[in-house]
Amino acid sequence: MIDFISTILEFFSQMMSSVYSGPAHNPLFFVAAVGSILVIERLMPADTAQPVLSVGFLQDCVWSGLTLIFQGFVTVVYVQGLERIYLSNFSYLTHPAVHQWPGWLRFLFAVLLVDLAAWIQHWLKHKIPWFWQMHAVHHSQPQMNLFTDLRRHFLELFILRSFSVVPLFILGVDTIQVGYFGIFMVWQTRFYHANIKWNMGWLRYIFVTPQSHRIHHSIELRHQDKNLGVMFSFWDRLFGTQYDLCEEYPVTGISDRGMPLEKNSSPLSLAAVPIKQLAYPFWVIGKDLRGRR
């Protein structure tokens, strides 16, 4: 019994350290980054009627805590399991010649490969109906904010991590470089999910922007399945999924009226909605299966 408890405590210790370690989770860094994005939202809002501290923002703060716990679990259990499977059965994919490349070249290639893999898994989540039911939880937010990226169904994280870590195993990229890349990626996604009216000028041809990603979250049919990029926008231009009009800032959300949404900022409502949204995809998939019989 004591060994079992020790194992559980060790697991939670690893999980929390994997989620909260590093400069990205330094309190001063976090406050400065969040404060900067909130100021930009105030100065350049895409939706002028949306309060900075909206009900959607408060709901996504609750989602943030849940998702960070999910991420810790996936990192400690699932990703480590993937690594063991890779080393046992697929280590031949890590060609010795790759390790002869300069470190910067391996890192650059890894960034491009990981982002391409992220684009592919994002495309799959929009095209495979059952994957979409999980991803729709993320798209349900009508009040975009910097924490919207953390509104994610826990099953979606398994898909995301499967596509993102295998390229790193293959290339054997230095973990410190991966850490700094992760910091940039986390805060870029928070930035472009925010309620910001900015297309970033010529940089939009390289990076995903608040304007281009708002198109991706649009409730309008003509915007559906567009701008799937995670970090770089040029994959969408290459694969024909880029929506080129860069001055549109549409209403966001999904057309599924059955999806549970936050209605007010009461603690009970904020606690209940994530539970309902986590359960809703299973209800839809179950209904679909019953309809096929």
Does position 45 have pLDDT exceeding 80, yes or no?
yes
H or E stretch at 186: helix 175-193
More confident residue, 102 or 137: 137
State the pTM of this model. 0.85
Does position 215 have pLDDT exceeding 50, yes or no?
yes
Specify the pLDDT at position 179. Answer: 60
- Angle at CA of residue 139, ends 157 and 248, nearest 5°: 130
Virtual torsion, Cα 56, 59, 60, 63, nearest 10 deg? -160
Rounded average pLDDT over 97-112? 79
Does position 101 have pLDDT exceeding 60, yes or no?
yes
Handedness of CA 152, 166, 237, 33 (dihedral sign): positive
More confident residue, 42 or 16: 42
Q: Of the given ranges (8-12, 252-256, 264-268), which has the lowest mean pLDDT?
A: 8-12
Does position 97 have pLDDT exceeding 60, yes or no?
yes
Percent of the chain with pLDDT over 90: 56
- Average pLDDT of the chain to the nearest whole number: 85
